[in-house]
Amino acid sequence: MATSTRSEPAAGAEPENPLVEGLERLPVPNTTLVIFGGTGDLSRRKLLPALYNLAHEGALPERFNLVAVSRRDLPDDDFRGMAREAIESFSRRTPDATVLEALLERFIYVPTAFDEEAGYKALAERLQELDDEAGTPLNRAFYLSTAPEFFPVIIQALGAQRLHRHPDADVRVIIEKPFGTDLASARSLNDVVLDRFREHQVFRIDHYLGKETVQNMLAFRFANYMFEPLWNRNYIDHVQITASEDLGIGTRAGYYDHSGALRDLVQNHMLQLLTLLCMEPPTAFDADSVRDEKVKVLHAIEPPTPEQVRTNTVRAQYGPGVVSGEEVPGYLQESDVPASSHTETFAALNLEVHNWRWAGVPFHLRTGKRLARKVTEIAVMLKPVPHLAFAQDGSVGVQPNQLILTMQPNEGVSLSLGAKIPGSRMRIRPVNMEFLYGTAFVSQSPEAYERLIMDAMRGDATLFTRNDEVDAQWEIIDPILQGWQESSEAPATYAAGSTGPEEADALLHEGRRWRGL
């Protein structure tokens, strides 16, 4: 296998992304990446295209190999053909043939069931051959991109073959979501993982942390002094975090019906957004300093009591409706969804962060499938001015300032301000000051998985979830799951393509309203 030349940027490549340039300057050790579930959906749609884009930018290490492990029996060449097709279909760039072919040469395939000892022996042999070929032990990163029931099986099998450590190289394990389905299962998975691996070897994925816009929250908060005096209960009235999607569950009923919106998006992505918004400035931008601060926020959120689950949460399912002009079925009519399913496709909840900075500020979270449009945003709603000095007609358009951090689409930050409408009267209306990624920066943002794969190979866990963080997330979510499970009430309903169930409006008090979708 030709692996000894560093991947060069493609001729005519667009200007390098500053993030990747920055990463490239930091050493990315020579690595063999092993993807369990290498022929699966995530691998084809995200991981293989991410590897191509890293290769395109010359960001992969000098010696890099990919070993895909899956059950299907395929020769290396067939796997390469499948990978080529996946990259051509899903890469954010049109692949350059030279870069793509050079990358594919580094791909090999090991067929095995995930619980088959002989398969791990074969894997160990292939890894040794790659080290021999390189003339040096390469770092190893095992990426678990399989159905979650295989996570413990694979971890234990790696341990049994002594593949979890190496005397002369770093060994890492990257674990996809979901990390457990409740507090108890997350704890037992952590026990299995930490029985074999040390925490610094473990990279639990939450792909939201790989998004540029999510990382920008840290830049926005900690590189701009002007927001700090406002960033607290004295100036902030409430916060709304929205992750709405127009898509339904597609072909994922098997997974989704056991998960639901709360586990699928709130436990991980939305709580990550909340912690980044609320955390104190870390002393350094390193894995433990950042994650220590995030965990403190999670610990400041009291898990809801059964009564609070009744009054502060809403779950709902989409019924039939119209999305983008097309009639779509309701959740219960989707294929493979049991007709009696109570699984929520929409979840909304109120949380409070009980600390000096945030006490008393309501945080309203909502997420759902088949809503009016896709938008992920955090709206920081400031308090109204204490006194309006304008004549009656001028006051009409005065609204409290809103700071909107948009993760997707139209990535950017927008601040609404009251401004005088030109004319002889003092009339005021809100206007927006906007920063848009698309116009401020010429280069295209890397996909979340590019950044995350790179960081995992470098051993930087800042953008990954630590064991105590996962635990703290589930501690908040578990009582809601339990309350919903024990409730005899069916979930509320909303029409596909709408802004969600009416019941969610009742979560906001004192005249507050959800932002329009």
- Interface characters, 285-324, with ligand BG6 (x: CB under 6 A): ----------------------------------------
**Nearest distance from residue 42's CB to ligand BG6, in Å?**
10
E-assigned strands of 58-106? 64-70
Catalytic annotation, pick one of 164, 207, 238, 269: 269
Report the residue number, 30 or 445, with the smaller CB distance to ligand BG6: 445
Report the residue number, 47 or 100, with the smaller CB distance to ligand BG6: 47
**Nearest distance from residue 231's CB to ligand BG6, in Å?**
25
DSSP 331: G
E-assigned strands of 226-287? 236-244
Size of the site for ligand BG6 (CB under 6 A): 4
Report the residue number, 110 or 404, with the smaller CB distance to ligand BG6: 404
How far the first Cα of the chain sits from its last, in Å, is 51
Q: How far apart are CA 19 and CA 433, in angstroms?
A: 25
Structure tokens given for 305: 């009591």
332-341 contacts at long range (C-beta below 8 A, 24 or more positions apart): 334/248, 334/249, 334/253, 335/251, 335/253, 336/253, 336/254, 336/257, 337/249, 337/253, 337/257, 338/257, 341/257, 341/317
Closest CA to 376 of 453, 298, 266, 279: 266
β-pair partners for 282: none
Q: How far apart are CA 36 and CA 57, in angstroms?
A: 25
CA 176 to chain centre: 10
- Please select the residue that binds ligand BG6; options are 264, 447, 450, 469, rule is CB under 6 A: 264
Say if CB 19 and CB 444 are below 8 A apart: no
Q: How far apart are CA 228 and CA 143, in angstroms?
A: 38
**Nearest distance from residue 330's CB to ligand BG6, in Å?**
18
Residue nearest to ligand BG6 (CB): 264
Report the residue number, 376 or 445, with the smaller CB distance to ligand BG6: 376
**Nearest distance from residue 452's CB to ligand BG6, in Å?**
12
Residue 108 dihedral angles phi and psi, to the nearest 5°: -130, 165
- Interactions with ligand BG6, residue window 321-360 (CB under 6 A): none
- Interface characters, 150-189, with ligand BG6 (x: CB under 6 A): ---------------------------x------------
**Nearest distance from residue 321's CB to ligand BG6, in Å?**
18
Task: Examine residue 257 and tell whether it contacts ligand BG6 (CB under 6 A).
Answer: no
- Interactions with ligand BG6, residue window 417-476 (CB under 6 A): none
**Nearest distance from residue 177's CB to ligand BG6, in Å?**
6
- Please select the residue that binds ligand BG6; options are 245, 377, 411, 447, rule is CB under 6 A: 245
Q: How far apart are CA 426 and CA 419, in angstroms?
A: 10
Report the residue number, 63 or 204, with the smaller CB distance to ligand BG6: 204
Report the residue number, 24 or 176, with the smaller CB distance to ligand BG6: 176
Residues 6+ apart with CB under 8 A from 431: 416, 417, 418, 419
**Nearest distance from residue 291's CB to ligand BG6, in Å?**
20
Report the residue number, 126 or 177, with the smaller CB distance to ligand BG6: 177
E-assigned strands of 334-468? 346-352, 362-368, 375-382, 402-408, 412-420, 428-436
Decide if 269 is catalytic: yes
Q: How far apart are CA 84 and CA 97, in angstroms?
A: 10
Residue 404's alpha-carbon distances to 166, 255, 356, 373, in angstroms, are: 47, 32, 23, 17
The number of CA neighbours under 13 Å toward the Cβ of 86 is 23
- Please select the residue that binds ligand BG6; options are 216, 376, 401, 467, rule is CB under 6 A: 376
β-pair partners for 232: none
Going by DSSP bridges, is the β-strand pair 139-144/236-244 parallel, antiparallel, or unpaired? unpaired
- Interactions with ligand BG6, residue window 219-238 (CB under 6 A): none
Closest CA to 264 of 331, 335, 342, 347: 347
Structure tokens given for 80: 């390469």
**Nearest distance from residue 367's CB to ligand BG6, in Å?**
9
Report the residue number, 245 or 334, with the smaller CB distance to ligand BG6: 245
**Nearest distance from residue 376's CB to ligand BG6, in Å?**
6
Q: How far apart are CA 59 and CA 69, in angstroms?
A: 24
Report the residue number, 255 or 285, with the smaller CB distance to ligand BG6: 255
With tokens 């990163």, the residue in question is 141
With tokens 């295989």, the residue in question is 150
- Interactions with ligand BG6, residue window 60-79 (CB under 6 A): none
Report the residue number, 267 or 498, with the smaller CB distance to ligand BG6: 267
**Nearest distance from residue 276's CB to ligand BG6, in Å?**
15
What residues act catalytically?
A: 269
Site residues (CB under 6 A) for ligand BG6? 177, 245, 264, 376
